[in-house]
């Protein structure tokens, strides 16, 4: 379990040094619910992560996840701001009596306000839990982040 925390921490730390854009912090509400962060690493790539609370598998447990995201701009035109579709691959850890470790495939849409200081997002995330047993699940949420 310590190795997974070490891996997630280093993944987030490395993206901070590699970032090409801004860092966003905010909230995600859904499954899970908590604090969300996003670090842009290029014009179309980013890492996101969350420290949140899950209410599904192990009621009332800490949920940590990190995802690599690829954004597709221009699919939906808007008058102001940007509305990219995104998809990616990531991992999650749920700290409970029976810890859960799984793979995430986030799919979502994000509205980036014209001034770039805020974004809001809606995502659905198919999950393949690997530990303690192999189970397919779906997570998702809505959120808002402020960019520094």
pLDDT digits (tens, 9 = 90+) for 102-115: 999 999 999 999 99
Q: Which pLDDT score, from 0 to 100, does residue 19 have? A: 37
Mean pLDDT of the chain: 88
Query: How many residues does this entry show for the chain?
Result: 148
**End-to-end CA gap in the chain:** 32
Which pLDDT band holds residue 117 (cuts at 50, 70, 90)? very high
**Triad 112, 117, 121: Cα angle to 5°:** 35
Average pLDDT over residues 86-99: 94
**CATH of residue 76:** 2.40.160.20
> How many domains, in total, are found in the chain?
1
Torsion of CA 67, 8, 29, 58, to 10 degrees: 120
Task: Note the pLDDT tens digit of each residue in 1-24.
Answer: 555 555 555 554 544 443 345 899
What pTM value is reported for the model? 0.82
Q: Which domain holds residue 98?
A: 2-147
CA 53 – CA 63 distance, rounded (Å): 5
- Using DSSP's 3-state secondary structure scheme, residue 146 falls into strand
Torsion of CA 96, 61, 59, 145, to 10 degrees: -150
Average pLDDT over residues 73-88: 94
Average pLDDT over residues 48-77: 90
H or E, element range at 18: helix 2-18
- Biggest CA–CA distance in the chain, Å, is 49
Q: Which pLDDT score, from 0 to 100, does residue 6 have? A: 53
Q: Rounded to the nearest 5°, which phi and psi values hold at 118?
A: -135, 150
Q: Which pLDDT score, from 0 to 100, does residue 82 have? A: 95
Task: Note the pLDDT tens digit of each residue in 126-135.
Answer: 999 999 999 9
């Amino acid at each position: 379990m310590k190795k997974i925390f070490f891996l997630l921490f280093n993944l987030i730390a490395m993206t901070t040094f590699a970032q090409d854009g801004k860092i966003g912090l905010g909230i995600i509400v859904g499954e899970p619910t908590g604090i969300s962060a996003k670090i842009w690493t290029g014009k179309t790539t980013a890492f996101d992560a969350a420290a949140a609370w899950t209410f599904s598998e192990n009621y009332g447990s800490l949920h940590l996840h990190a995802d690599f995201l690829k954004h597709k701009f221009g699919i939906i035109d808007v008058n102001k701001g940007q509305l990219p579709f995104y998809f990616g691959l990531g991992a999650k850890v749920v700290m409970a009596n029976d810890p859960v470790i799984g793979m995430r495939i986030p799919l979502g849409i994000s509205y980036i306000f014209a001034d770039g200081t805020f974004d809001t997002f809606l995502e659905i995330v198919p999950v393949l839990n690997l530990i303690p047993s192999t189970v397919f699940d779906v997570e998702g949420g809505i959120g808002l982040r402020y960019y520094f």
